[in-house]
Amino acid sequence: KNLFSSGLTAMEKKLAEYKCNTNEAIQLKLVRFPEDLEDENTTFNPEYSHQVFGDDEVAFGYKGLKILLYYIAGNMSTLFRIEYTSKVNEKFDCVEADDVESKIREIIPPGFCTNTDDFVSLLEKEVNFKPFGMLLHTYSVHNEEAGEDITYQIYKADMTCPGFREYHERLQTFLMWFIETASFIDVDDERWNYFLVFEKYNKDGATLFATVGYMTVYNYYVYPDKTRPRVSQMLILPPFQGEGHGAQLLETVHRYYMTSPTVLDITAEDPSENYVKLRDFVLVKLCQDLLCFSPGKLMQGFSQEMVMEAQQKLKINKQHTRRVYEILRLRATDMGDAEQSRSYRLDIKRRLIGPYK
């Protein structure tokens, strides 16, 4: 018995060395210059890999496993390679290594590079890449590191733009790594709208475009002649997160639909906490100058006027208007004043009790 159990632990120990955390093994890059390939600072890792590698987020059978997924910054052309220092062998170890390659191939479209030389020669053609669709908004952000203002542009694209379908297939693979419950959409449904954020950058005197993030919106039909756009997916790529691009994108999308007389209001599908924070920020920014949200009116409570005005002018639905009202009223309330703070708290309580009544 002892012999057997000690033998098992030695075997277990050996096999444990062949387990790799896939969130660490997967190395992502957005490449602008050939030297980015060697630069560890340009590498980032997934937040999630459970949709591809199971809930444990483990790949078995390799030591020192590296799953390289490098993308050219603009058109998202892909390099996919697997490297490892050693691999279990069925003959000797009587176990089989996970087929990592086929798992990745299931989510990345065919036509990727498998060696660096091919990838670098594609990189040289990147100067020809231009954003898809129609320019909606340009803004700039001051970058401390570069010591200059960087220009960003937001475009609305659709599947009729040449090359966009293939580009979108490459871009959407990022959803798997950064959205917990990601799924790919049916691009043949014409009710999808796509909004893309690009950064302009210089390379050898030419202006190039790098992909920053994107949003997909589905246009639901509302009887008899209206639509209700619903935000489905939104991702700002990790190297650009925390710079305000999400707010720029969401506000631009809102403004795009605001001009359309057939749009009722904008909703979102199963929004994450981060998305709700972002939306609160953007909607409050849009609403704060409406007359119905003036401090005097806020103190009188939530009104039908607020609902109407926010929906008609800004395409904001009732539920979100209520949130905006509570945030703006809190800003106008002196919480140090017993009467004002009591009145605010009661107002929130009434909303919470409402459904139970």
Q: Would you name the residues annotated as active-site residues?
A: 269
How far is Cα 279 from Cα 215, in angstroms, rounded to an integer?
13
How far is Cα 356 from Cα 266, in angstroms, rounded to an integer?
27
Residue 134 CB neighbour total at 10 angstroms: 12
Burial 14-39, CB ≥16 within 10 A → b, else e:
eeeebbbebbebbbbbbbbeeebbee
Element (H, E) at 351: helix 338-353
How far is Cα 142 from Cα 127, in angstroms, rounded to an integer?
24
Q: Token pair of 105, please?
A: 């191939």
Beta strand spans in 125-205 (E): 134-143, 148-157, 192-203
Element (H, E) at 53: helix 50-53
How far is Cα 251 from Cα 293, in angstroms, rounded to an integer?
19
Beta bridge partners of 142: 149
How far is Cα 171 from Cα 157, in angstroms, rounded to an integer?
14
Q: Token pair of 143, please?
A: 């970058």
The CA-atom distances, in angstroms, between 254 and each of 28, 229, 258, 259, 286 are 31, 10, 6, 9, 9
Which one, of 352, 346, 347, 215, lies nearest residue 282 by Cα?
A: 215
Structural contact between residues 109 and 77, judged by C-beta atoms closer than 8 angstroms: no
Burial 319-353, CB ≥16 within 10 A → b, else e:
ebbeebbbebbeeebeeeeeeeeeebeebeeeeee
